[in-house]
Amino acid sequence: MKFTVAIDGPAAAGKGTISRAVAARFGFAHLDTGALYRAVGVKAQAGGLDPVAAARGLCPEDLARDDLRTLEAGQAASIVAAIPEVRAALVDFQREFARREGGAVLDGRDIGTVICPEAEVKLFVTASAEVRAHRRWLEVGGDEAEVLAQVRERDARDMNRADAPLRPAEDALVLDTSDLSIEDAVARACEAVSQKLG
């Protein structure tokens, strides 16, 4: 069975947590596509490489790095994700993963709009910038006001880029997690998948 769940949304909205929970609940494979861009960004910075070359040479070891969840990696990801040639280098990998046997959940910024517009289920997970910045601050620490500024800067870059801007697909279910518990958000996502599975 081929069944794709596309989960998009801005940083720290909860899409990764929801995606992992949905994948576990239905026995689907999970791909955090943001990790691909984080790995490319970190690889390019650390090795002094051209981001396009880093994307074309991406390997499983790059995705296993322990520094992909830092604020710096997130900023690097957002920068390289705005490069059309980087996006193109990673599209085929994501599409093949999405149509694998046994079902797949992909989370990112453009899964429902660009990578898998034919996905059986599309969710757009969001929350206010303030709520997302607080969550990210709890995760990484530092100055909370600076984290909020970075979240807003990243939102602007992701939403206004020319290639595959961050936005909900027209047929996506929008889940605002600002005032939802993670359990409630996961339950709503699972309900959407269950309905499509019949």
Q: For 6-19, how does the pLDDT look when each residue is reduced to its tens digit (9 = 90+)?
A: 999 998 999 999 99
Q: Are strands 104-108 and 4-8 parallel, antiparallel or unpaired?
A: parallel
Q: Are 5 and 31 in contact (CB under 8 A)?
A: no
For residue 78, the domain's CATH number is 3.40.50.300
What is the phi/psi pair of residue 64, to 5°? Answer: -95, 0
Distance CA 66, CA 50 (A): 21
Locate 179 and state its tokens.
Answer: 């005032």
Q: Are 30 and 4 in contact (CB under 8 A)?
A: no
| Tens digits of residue pLDDT in 81-136 | 889 999 999 998 899 899 999 999 999 999 999 999 999 999 999 999 999 999 99
Three-state secondary structure call for residue 44: helix
As a dihedral over the C-alpha atoms of residue 57, residue 90, residue 11, residue 23, rounded to 10 degrees, the angle is -110
Give this prediction's pTM.
0.85
Per the annotation, where are the binding residues? 9-17
Per the annotation, where are the binding residues for ATP? 9-17
Residue 164, pLDDT score? 84
Structural domain that includes position 159: 4-197
As for how many domains the chain has, the answer is 1
- In sequence order, the 6+-apart residues with CB closer than 8 A to the CB of 66 are none
| Tens digits of residue pLDDT in 45-84 | 998 999 999 999 988 789 889 999 888 898 899 899 889 9
